[in-house]
């Protein structure tokens, strides 16, 4: 999906939340970094659920890091792919927070 956006161009905001259990599970970081040059308005936040002592980035669950102001001010599509607990946490957060104007697409893996 990101490769397609990078190829076609466009100016819509794209915010990727990349969540892993442990930092050693991270992959394709160079590729993700290249999207910042190839997709206008691209942002990527990496979230590690069980960080090691040296981890300096975001920790916890992905919904804890959503930009509430951006979500409330713009209609959006959300694409989620991951294990059932992650998908369930995001779906529950959207329902609990009463987030309106959005479309959620998800694929359960794991």
| Predicted confidence (pLDDT) per residue in 4-33, tens digit | 999 998 788 899 999 999 999 999 999 999
Strands (E), the chain: 14-20, 42-48, 58-59, 76-82, 102-108
Q: Are residues 28 and 76 in the same domain?
A: no
Q: Are residues 20 and 41 in the same domain?
A: yes
**CA 17, CA 7: separation in Å to the nearest integer?**
21
Structure tokens at 57: 């980035």
Q: Are residues 71 and 97 in the same domain?
A: yes
pLDDT at 101: 83
Q: Are residues 22 and 74 in the same domain?
A: no
Q: Are residues 43 and 84 in the same domain?
A: no
Q: What is the band of 97 on the pLDDT scale with cuts at 50, 70, 90?
A: confident
Q: Are residues 56 and 83 in the same domain?
A: no
Per-chain mean pLDDT for the chain: 91
Considering the entire predicted model, what is its pTM? 0.87
Report which of 59, 53, 54, 56 is spatially closest to residue 20, judged by C-alpha positions. Answer: 59
pLDDT at 58: 97
Domain count, the chain: 2
């Amino acid at each position: 999906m990101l490769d397609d956006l990078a190829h076609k161009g466009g100016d819509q905001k794209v915010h990727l939340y990349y969540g892993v259990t442990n930092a050693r599970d991270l992959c394709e970081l160079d590729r993700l970094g290249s999207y910042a040059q190839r997709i206008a308005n691209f942002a990527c936040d990496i979230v590690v659920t069980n960080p090691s002592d040296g981890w300096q980035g975001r920790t916890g669950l992905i919904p804890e890091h959503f930009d509430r102001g951006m979500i409330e001010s713009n209609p959006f599509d959300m694409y989620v792919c991951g294990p059932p607990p992650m998908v369930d946490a995001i779906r529950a957060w959207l329902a609990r927070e009463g987030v309106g104007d959005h479309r959620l697409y998800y694929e359960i893996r794991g």
